[in-house]
Amino acid sequence: MKIALTLFFLSFVGLTISAEPLPPLPLWPDGAPGALGKEDKDIPTLTVYLPDPAVATGAAVVIFPGGGYGGLAKHEGEGYALWLNQNGIAGLVVKYRLGSNGYRHPIMLQDAARAVRLTRAKADEWKLDPKRIGIMGSSAGGHLASTLLTHFDAGKPDATDPIERQSSRPDLGILCYAVITMGDLTHKGSRQNLLGKEPTPELIDLLSNEKQVTPQTPPCFVWHTYEDTAVPVENSLNFAAALRRAGVPFDLHIYQKGGHGMGLGNGHPWSVDCLYWLKVQGFVK
């Protein structure tokens, strides 16, 4: 029923959908490190939506839905994956562990990194290019994406688990009305769910990702709206400024109209602008 509703919405905004996802894959088949139990909420997964082979470009985007680190917004997960499929890109939606279920940093980053590693490890099976794997996140999912964009690693060549040998560095990032900072301009609910009630100043700085950008940070598409009252637009402005200082290529779009959490936004122009940028990056034909 939920998939049917998403398909109806995407058809309403002009997209024809036929893809069904593969069964969700546990990120760690033998149990996730740091798991607090064995219930569904303790098992991070990756749900894979592959495009029609006739239009597939071989590129993939791993998606982190928003929800304040307390939930996962379906329209910012499955909705994006189906939209990407229509443009030849595989969409892979991560169910990461949440602060509302007792998890704190670095668990969410571990899940995000593992999702990118798993996608690279499965590239041959899913007919993907391991050098064209991006990430995408909205709101708190955008914070998680910006964290991985600035806290990735090259993998462990001597790991017994072949997935852990893969790099967690994304090849690009798409940040939608993202929480970036953990400082004064943050979304306070996201910060508390991620870091707890009394995080140290050092932890706040570490996860204020506008302070963590380096020349190795991947290219980014960053967008926000002036009218956003949940996550101040300065989050995106300051991240883009940090990218500029580091010499990292980016597209920055600040739209006057539009609130927070709108996803595809019923035809909002951000998706058109993003597709143009993805074509420049070689992800869209």
Whether the CB-CB separation of 221 and 277 falls below 8 Å is answered with yes
Helix axes 188-195, 140-150, angle to 10 degrees: 60
pLDDT digits (tens, 9 = 90+) for 264-273: 987 899 999 9
Residue 271 tokens, joined: 């998706």
DSSP state of 251: E
Residue 106, preceding peptide bond in cis (omega within 30° of 0): yes
Whether the CB-CB separation of 138 and 145 falls below 8 Å is answered with no
pLDDT digits (tens, 9 = 90+) for 74-131: 999 999 999 999 999 999 999 999 999 999 999 999 999 999 999 999 999 999 999 9
pLDDT digits (tens, 9 = 90+) for 139-169: 999 999 999 999 999 999 999 999 999 999 9
CA–CA dist 66, 74 (Å, integer): 9
Question: Distances from the Cα of 269 to the Cαs of 17, 172, 234, 251, in angstroms?
Answer: 20, 20, 20, 14
φ, ψ of residue 100 to 5 degrees: the values are -65, -15
At residue 14, does pLDDT exceed 80? no
The CATH homologous superfamily to which domain 2-280 belongs is: Alpha/Beta hydrolase fold, catalytic domain (3.40.50.1820)
29 CB-near residues (< 8 Å, 6+ apart): none
Q: Which of 93, 91, 114 is closest to 35 using CA atoms? A: 114
pTM value > 0.85:
yes
Greatest alpha-carbon pair distance for the chain in Å reads 52
How confident is residue 10, by pLDDT bands cut at 50, 70 and 90?
very low
Q: Where are the domains of the chain?
A: 2-280
CB atoms within 10 A of CB 164: 17
Please state, for a pLDDT cut of 70, what percent of the chain lies above it: 93
CA–CA dist 194, 101 (Å, integer): 11
DSSP state of 30: T
Tell me how far apart the terminal alpha carbons of the chain are, to the nearest angstrom: 32
Residue 231 tokens, joined: 């996550």
